[in-house]
Chains A and B, each alone.
Chain A
Amino acid sequence: MRNCYIHSAVSISAQNTFASEDFLLDVIAHNTKKTQAIYPNFKDFIAPIAARRMQTAVKMGVVTANKALQIAELNQPDAIITGTGMGCITDTEKFLNSIITNNEAYLTPTSFIQSTHNTVCAQIALGLKCNAFNNTYTHGNLSFESTLIDAQLLIQQQEAKHILVGGVDELGTEFVEYVQMMEAKESKGIKVPFSEGATFAVLSSEKKVNAIKLQAITTILEASKEEIILKLEAFLAVNDMDANSIDAIILGNNGDAYDAYYELTATSLFPHAVQIEYKHLIGEFHTASAFAFWLGTKVLQKQHIPKDVLKNSRQNKSIKTVLLYNQFKGKDHSFILLKTC
């Protein structure tokens, strides 16, 4: 069975992560309910004629994907796999509102065509003229995780060598308002802003200098806090590890009542590990955990933890193994293990 290595990881987020070479050096504080990602100048990357039809998710996805390929020095991936929770929600809202407002008359196809969940993945393939395997997952907060599972499987089973994976979600305008309205009714709702972003990575069966290994990933639909502890221990055991082998954990705290999952996990299993959080910087959305994947990869490559994500006392020891844990409302749990090679 082949190993799965990360050759590049690129992210557009509500921090300056795409254009800047700095590693979260000057972070932006977000005190709003919603926040857009920091966009690069899309015109520098996408031809105007193509960009005209693209909404934010497609633009972020295409640009991030291309940079991930460039860094990995890969022209044509053997597979392109995208995850998105809400898909192309802007065009979905646009077409839906045209139907309602005009009572099904005077409609144009563009927003419908661009509204399908596979638009980002399709536009990446189109730009590359890539006939290879092409898949899109849309499974709530496990959408990005599903791309990793698929990619790892393709590599392990020797069906592909170099794979472009990514998670992308755009904010949209209307639906997010309704989601936030419902969230506001919760006694302890999400505190970080609702947001958006795109993270793409090249995974490969080939080991490379400074490559990080995607050791394992697993997803759990629903579990109690106590069950999560047991499942996490079992996950580590399958990978010949225990809680002491984890140098750093990256947790998806968003300020809601379900942060209790992270707290119990951190205190009961990883009292000695470096604890990292990130959603206060980039917000919450269905594929926010893809940012943690980017962050984990960078921490391992740079052997440095930016101060704004570090949640407990700074540790000087080298970081060889990072565990990512994310969940949403006590559901859609995921564990991802990243290692230096």
Chain B
Amino acid sequence: MPNEPTNKDTAPRVAVTGMGIISAIGNSVQENMEALLASKSGIGSISKINTVHADQIRVGEVAFSNDELISQQQLSDDNNFTRTSLLGLFAAKEALKNAKITGINSYKTGLISSTTVGGMDKTEQHLKTFKTSSESQKYISSHHAGDSTKKIAKQLGITEFSTTISTACSSSTNAIMLGARLIKAGKLDRVIVGGTDALTKFTINGFKTLMILSDEVCTPFDEHRKGLNLGEGAAYLVLESETIAKKENKSIIAYISGYANTNDAFHQTATSENGQGAYLAMQKALDFAHLKPAQIDYINAHGTATPNNDLTESIAIKRVFGDDIPDFSSTKAYTGHTLAASGAVEAVFSILALQAQTVFPNLNFKSKINETGLTPTTEIKKKPINYVLSNSFGFGGNCSTLILSKE
């Protein structure tokens, strides 16, 4: 990227001009919106992966099969797209369409994607036949995590800049953040940001060994929560410099007002007792956006429904917001935990909350967590919403917070 001089004070605002999503509750922004407004969960039995744990887990699967995704996107028969790439391409295309972008290179446009599993869905099926089967061998090169991004970039015709972030479950929030920073610095005019992850045996068994998978639909922020449901999906936002979006008469659906990336630095998988990383991420994002906690109208929480996350996230929320806790909910009971994609999935939901001026209910909540006593919003709530704060926390202590605004 060229090194144009920039000035922080005159940096353009970062506008969101489009979004795309595929998740367990729908194959488009519209379908996801309808499911959220109908309080309709996408969690169910696993159907596309043959696992011995099928009876003991509930997951958020995307309805389309790989074959359906391949034919819809008109890929050649000998393609080596993994499910992660297929989901990513599907959502990224919707985002571009939604932003009414036709000439991809009429402005300096980048792609920042993210994934945790990369091509694992194919690797775990073909690992033991890589040596012998030519049909398997095409998936050797699609294993690494950068592969899905490169495939999406190529399909979209993006040549300017592209990279892949993998910070576990905060990955796509960090992708959004990098995109916003590149636009503010004037290095890109426009950038597609988000993430994609497919369900895999690898992650199902990984979370199973950690004993944090629930055998029922998950119950975020409930005292008796039993763990998370894994999900799959992809979501992307189109970010543009406000100057260019206005020049092009684009309809701006939201602004990226604040963000922060911190690390809990406590344990590879557990969170610190006082939720330090999460606290710092929220606080720094508020500071960056020059907002007071009271100005946040809705928190789309990370809320995975694991005993550990929901307790420490609650503690961190109380540390930031004191006695004046905004409406908050976790949408994980709709989609499951989509890992790297979750930050972007929930950024889309946060924008839908701004558009519909609606807090989406936290499903399956019955009783408050004893230690913290917080009650999430459990019914559809219409109210003026100007600022939404969205949290994403992951293994390795990675904590990121995004603030989206209407104006």
Residue numbers of A with Cβ under 8 A of B are: 1, 80, 85-87, 95-97, 99-100, 103-105, 107-109, 112-119, 121-123, 125-126, 128-140, 142-143, 146, 149-150, 153, 156-159, 174-175, 178-179, 181-182, 216, 218-222, 235, 238-239, 286, 331
Per a CB cutoff under 8 Å, which of B1, B123, B263 touches A122? Answer: B263
Expressed in whole angstroms, the minimum distance between the Cβ of B404 and any Cβ of chain A is: 20
Q: Do B163 and A109 touch (CB < 8 A)?
A: no
Q: Which residues of A contact B145 (CB under 8 A)?
A: 87, 117, 138-139
Minimum CB distance partner of A107 in chain B: B209
- Contact status of A113 and B395, CB under 8 A, knowing A105-B52, A134-B167, A157-B8: yes
Q: Do A107 and B265 touch (CB < 8 A)?
A: no
Q: Do A221 and B162 touch (CB < 8 A)?
A: yes
Please name 10 pairs of A and B residues whose Cβ atoms are closer than 8 Å in the assembled complex, sorted by A: A85-B144, A100-B124, A109-B269, A116-B116, A122-B268, A122-B396, A134-B262, A135-B165, A139-B145, A178-B137
How long is the Cα–Cα vector from A143 to B395 in the complex, in angstroms? 20
Q: Do A138 and B164 touch (CB < 8 A)?
A: yes
How long is the Cα–Cα vector from A122 to B184 in the complex, in angstroms? 27
Q: Do B263 and A139 touch (CB < 8 A)?
A: no
The winner among B52, B116, B123, B265 for most chain A CB atoms within 10 A is B265
Q: Do A100 and B210 touch (CB < 8 A)?
A: no
Q: Which residues of A contact B168 (CB under 8 A)?
A: 116-118
Per a CB cutoff under 8 Å, which of B209, B262, B395 touches A133? Answer: B262
Q: Do B209 and A109 touch (CB < 8 A)?
A: yes
Q: Do A117 and B261 touch (CB < 8 A)?
A: no
Q: Which residues of A contact B144 (CB under 8 A)?
A: 85-86, 138, 140, 286
Expressed in whole angstroms, the minimum distance between the Cβ of A206 and any Cβ of chain B is: 18
For window 139-185 of B, CB contacts with A under 8 Å fall at 140-141, 143-147, 149-150, 153-154, 158-159, 161-168, 174, 178, 181-182, 184-185
Q: Which residues of B contact A219 (CB under 8 A)?
A: 161, 163
Q: Do A135 and B174 touch (CB < 8 A)?
A: yes
Minimum CB distance partner of B159 in chain A: A221
For window 240-285 of B, CB contacts with A under 8 Å fall at 261-269, 276-277, 280
Sorted nearest first, the 3 A-B pairs with minimum C-beta distance are A122-B396, A112-B206, A117-B166
Q: Which residues of B contact A116 (CB under 8 A)?
A: 116, 166, 168, 395-396
Expressed in whole angstroms, the minimum distance between the Cβ of A59 and any Cβ of chain B is: 15
Q: Which residues of B contact A331 (CB under 8 A)?
A: 150
Q: Which residues of B contact A181 (CB under 8 A)?
A: 130-131
Minimum CB distance partner of A152 in chain B: B3
How long is the Cα–Cα vector from A105 to B154 in the complex, in angstroms? 39
How long is the Cα–Cα vector from A156 to B182 in the complex, in angstroms? 11
Minimum CB distance partner of A112 in chain B: B206
B20 within 8 A of A: no
Minimum CB distance partner of A234 in chain B: B2
Expressed in whole angstroms, the minimum distance between the Cβ of A226 and any Cβ of chain B is: 15
Number of CB contacts from chain A to chain B under 8 A: 200
How long is the Cα–Cα vector from A122 to B150 in the complex, in angstroms? 25
Minimum CB distance partner of B1 in chain A: A218
Per a CB cutoff under 8 Å, which of B201, B265, B280 touches A104? Answer: B201
Q: Do B276 and A149 touch (CB < 8 A)?
A: no
B226 within 8 A of A: no
How long is the Cα–Cα vector from A314 to B255 in the complex, in angstroms? 55
Q: B-side binding surface: helix, strand, loop or mixed?
A: mixed
Q: Which residues of A contact B267 (CB under 8 A)?
A: 126
Q: Do A132 and B147 touch (CB < 8 A)?
A: no
Q: Which residues of B contact A142 (CB under 8 A)?
A: 146, 163
Q: Which residues of B contact A112 (CB under 8 A)?
A: 202, 205-206, 209-210
Q: Which residues of B contact A131 (CB under 8 A)?
A: 262-265, 276-277, 280
- Contact status of A140 and B127, CB under 8 A, knowing A108-B209, A119-B396, A135-B174: no
Expressed in whole angstroms, the minimum distance between the Cβ of A21 and any Cβ of chain B is: 32
- Contact status of A221 and B150, CB under 8 A, knowing A1-B5, A1-B6, A136-B165: yes
Minimum CB distance partner of A104 in chain B: B52
Q: Which residues of A contact B116 (CB under 8 A)?
A: 116-117
How long is the Cα–Cα vector from A139 to B187 in the complex, in angstroms? 19
Per a CB cutoff under 8 Å, which of A87, A107, A216 touches B3? Answer: A216
B128 within 8 A of A: yes
Q: Do B263 and A136 touch (CB < 8 A)?
A: no
Q: Do B6 and A126 touch (CB < 8 A)?
A: no
Expressed in whole angstroms, the minimum distance between the Cβ of A145 and any Cβ of chain B is: 8
Q: Which residues of B contact A129 (CB under 8 A)?
A: 265
Q: Do A126 and B51 touch (CB < 8 A)?
A: no
Q: Do B51 and A157 touch (CB < 8 A)?
A: no
- Contact status of A134 and B127, CB under 8 A, knowing A104-B51, A157-B185: no
Q: Which residues of B contact A114 (CB under 8 A)?
A: 268
Q: Do B159 and A222 touch (CB < 8 A)?
A: yes
Expressed in whole angstroms, the minimum distance between the Cβ of B194 and any Cβ of chain A is: 15
Q: Do B166 and A136 touch (CB < 8 A)?
A: yes
Q: Do A134 and B140 touch (CB < 8 A)?
A: no
Q: Which residues of B contact A85 (CB under 8 A)?
A: 144, 146
Given contacts A1-B6, A146-B163, A153-B187, 20 further A-B contacts (CB under 8 A): A86-B144, A96-B202, A104-B205, A105-B52, A108-B209, A112-B206, A113-B269, A117-B166, A118-B166, A121-B396, A122-B398, A125-B396, A125-B397, A126-B267, A131-B280, A133-B263, A134-B397, A137-B164, A138-B144, A239-B3
Minimum CB distance partner of B339 in chain A: A116
Q: Do A118 and B395 touch (CB < 8 A)?
A: yes
How long is the Cα–Cα vector from A146 to B181 in the complex, in angstroms? 14
- Contact status of A149 and B163, CB under 8 A, knowing A117-B145, A125-B265, A131-B280: yes
Q: Which residues of A contact B48 (CB under 8 A)?
A: none
How long is the Cα–Cα vector from A85 to B261 in the complex, in angstroms? 22
Q: Which residues of A contact B158 (CB under 8 A)?
A: 221
How long is the Cα–Cα vector from A158 to B131 in the complex, in angstroms? 50
Q: Which residues of B contact A126 (CB under 8 A)?
A: 265-268, 397
Q: Do A104 and B140 touch (CB < 8 A)?
A: no
Q: Which residues of B contact A103 (CB under 8 A)?
A: 52
Q: Which residues of A contact B5 (CB under 8 A)?
A: 1
Q: Do A107 and B167 touch (CB < 8 A)?
A: no
B53 within 8 A of A: yes
How long is the Cα–Cα vector from A143 to B394 in the complex, in angstroms? 20
How long is the Cα–Cα vector from A157 to B153 in the complex, in angstroms? 27
Q: Which residues of A contact B266 (CB under 8 A)?
A: 126
